[in-house]
Amino acid sequence: MRAAIDLFAEQGYDATTVNEIAERAGGLTKTTFFRHFSDKREVLYAGQELHGRIVSDAIGGAPDSATPLQMVASAVDELAAVFTEDRREMAGKLRKVIAESAELQERAAFKRAALVGAMTAALRERRVPELVAELAAELGTRAFYGAFGRWAVAEDPRTLVEHARQAFGELRAAMSELE
C-alpha cells in the first residue's frame, strides 16, 4: 500500500503500472499484488470493511434512549478515532492522489455509499424508520468526509474527532435552517 501511494503521488495513478507497484514493494510480481488486492484501485481502499463494522457496532451499542442523530454521532466519533495523528500525512497524500483520478473518485463514491449503507442498516436494526435512518446516515457520513478532508490538509492542529464533531454540529444547524 505504501509503495502504491508513493508511486501514484510521484507519477500519477494512470501512469503507474501494477507491476511497478509490486516491484517496489519488495521485488514482488503482478500476481502477488492481485492475491492481496482485488484490483488496482483497491490498494488505496483496502481495510474499509472495518469502517463499516465500526459504525455498525457503535450504532448497535448505543443506549436505547439515544436519538438517531445521537447514535450516528457516536458512530462518527468512533470512526474518526481510528485515524490517529500518525496517519494524517498518508491521508493527505491519499486525498491528493484521489483528486487527480476519476477512476479513484469513482471507487471513493462507492465506498462512501457503502458507509451510508452500513449506518442505515444499523439504524434500521435499532428500529429507526427507513427514511429517517437514511437521512441520519447521510448526515453522519457527510460530516465525516468533510471533516476528513479538512483534517488531511493539516493546516489545523485539531484531531479528526474534533473536526468531525464540529462538522456534525454545523450540518445539524444547517438542517434546521432547511425550514
Partner DNA sequence: TAGCGTGATGTTACCAAGTCACATCACCAC
Partner DNA sequence: GTGGTGATGTGACTTGGTAACATCACGCTA
List of residues contacting its own copies (CB under 8 A): 67-69, 105-107, 109-110, 112-113, 129, 131-132, 134-136, 138-139, 142, 170-171, 173-175, 177-179
CB of 142 to its own copies, least distance (A): 7
Do 167 and 138 touch, CB atoms closer than 8 A? Answer: no
Applying CB under 7 A, the residues found at the interface with DNA are 16-19, 22, 27-32, 34-36, 38-41
Which residue number, 11 or 84, has a Cβ lying nearer to DNA?
11
One-letter amino acid identity for 95?
Answer: R
Residues 6 or more apart in contact with residue 1 via CB below 8 angstroms: 43, 44, 46
Give me the least distance between CB of 130 and DNA, in Å please. Answer: 34
Cβ-contact 49, 115 below 8 angstroms: no
Region of residue 66 (phi > 0: left; psi between -120 and 50: alpha; otherwise: beta): beta
Q: Between 18 and 81, whose beta carbon lies closer to DNA? A: 18
Closer by beta carbon to its own copies, 14 or else 110: 110
